[in-house]
């Protein structure tokens, strides 16, 4: 097996529970990059939220790419050029934001520019945390003041898990059909363009780089990694949910015991 791209999730996969890349995993990924293998981080975060990891891995120069917002964008890190884009528009925003109000759940809109918008002054605790940890500027605007030119990378519910549990059974079938939806955390439920998911964007990026699916090693642990695992030779973390393990070709150690690094050593180096 010849691997030319490693596409990996971050939380629960690349990093341990302390949000750190272990020395073994860091060394393995740097060795893979030195060998000419593309290392692509695939995350629900914006670029600003993963910059420290990109810098640590040495991926901020030359031809390196990152997949953000769970697949809405793939970007050349050095130039900032977007090479794959699957975003939403103002009509999507008004539809999804109005639905949030109807279902009494906190919502937030995230633009490709990494600006985060809410339309109620009662801002969710989880929105504040999201803004803080991902370095996204947080803006409050009543829905009527949002400009009609309003691209969105994704729309999210950000609320107590119990509030999302209560809202989900009332999610209209048309919404489920029109958007790619995923519960990325207990307190986050995401709405994205139908084609915006980690797996499809990974394959689109790989195709642009002349890389075939069997030349990609993918790694993940959570529900929003299901399509990623299926996009290449899938590696499930030891801490992964059962659905990920069932789809994967290999189950490695967990994220606190160098699982990704061990898989890279075994299949890439």
157 and 188 Cβ atoms separated by less than 8 Å: yes
**Catalytic residue, candidates 9, 11, 97, 225:** 9
Of the candidates 267, 260, 266, the one whose C-alpha atom is nearest the C-alpha of residue 57 is: 260
Residue 200, C-beta contacts closer than 8 angstroms, at least 6 positions apart: 71, 86, 227, 231
Helix (H) or strand (E) segment spanning residue 157: strand 154-158
| 3-state secondary structure at position 186 | coil
- Separation of alpha carbons 22 and 120, rounded Å: 40
Cα dihedral 19, 5, 230, 243 in deg (nearest 10): -20
Active site residue 9: yes
182 and 51 Cβ atoms separated by less than 8 Å: no
- Separation of alpha carbons 56 and 230, rounded Å: 27
CB contact burial 20-57 (16+ within 10 A = b; e otherwise): ebbebbbbbbeebbeeebbbbbbbbbbbebbbebbeeb
Annotated catalytic residues are: 9
């Amino acid at each position: 097996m010849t691997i030319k791209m490693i596409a990996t999730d971050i939380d629960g996969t690349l990093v341990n529970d302390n949000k750190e890349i272990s020395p073994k995993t860091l060394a393995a990924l740097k060795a893979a990059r030195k060998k000419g293998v593309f290392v692509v981080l695939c995350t629900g975060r914006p670029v600003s939220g993963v910059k420290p990891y990109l810098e640590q891995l040495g991926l901020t120069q030359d031809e390196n790419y990152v997949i953000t917002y769970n697949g809405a964008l793939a970007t050349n890190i050095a130039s900032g050029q977007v090479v794959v884009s699957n975003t939403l528009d103002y009509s999507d925003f008004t539809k999804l934001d109005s639905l949030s109000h109807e279902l009494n759940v906190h919502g937030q809109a995230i633009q490709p520019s990494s600006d985060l918008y809410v339309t109620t002054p009662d801002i969710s605790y989880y929105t504040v945390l999201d803004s803080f940890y991902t370095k996204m500027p947080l803006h409050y605007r009543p829905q009527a003041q949002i400009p009609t030119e309003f691209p969105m990378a994704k729309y999210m519910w950000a609320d107590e898990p119990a509030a999302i549990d209560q809202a989900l059974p009332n999610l209209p079938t048309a919404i489920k059909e029109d958007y790619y939806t995923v519960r990325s955390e207990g307190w986050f439920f995401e709405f994205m363009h139908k084609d915006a998911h980690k797996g499809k964007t990974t394959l689109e990026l790989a195709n642009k780089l002349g890389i075939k699916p069997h030349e990609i090693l993918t790694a993940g642990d959570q529900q929003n990694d299901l399509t990623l695992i299926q996009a290449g030779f899938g590696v499930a973390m030891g801490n992964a949910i059962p659905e990920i393990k069932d789809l994967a070709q290999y189950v490695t150690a967990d994220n606190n015991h160098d699982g990704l690094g061990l898989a890279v050593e075994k299949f890439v180096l």
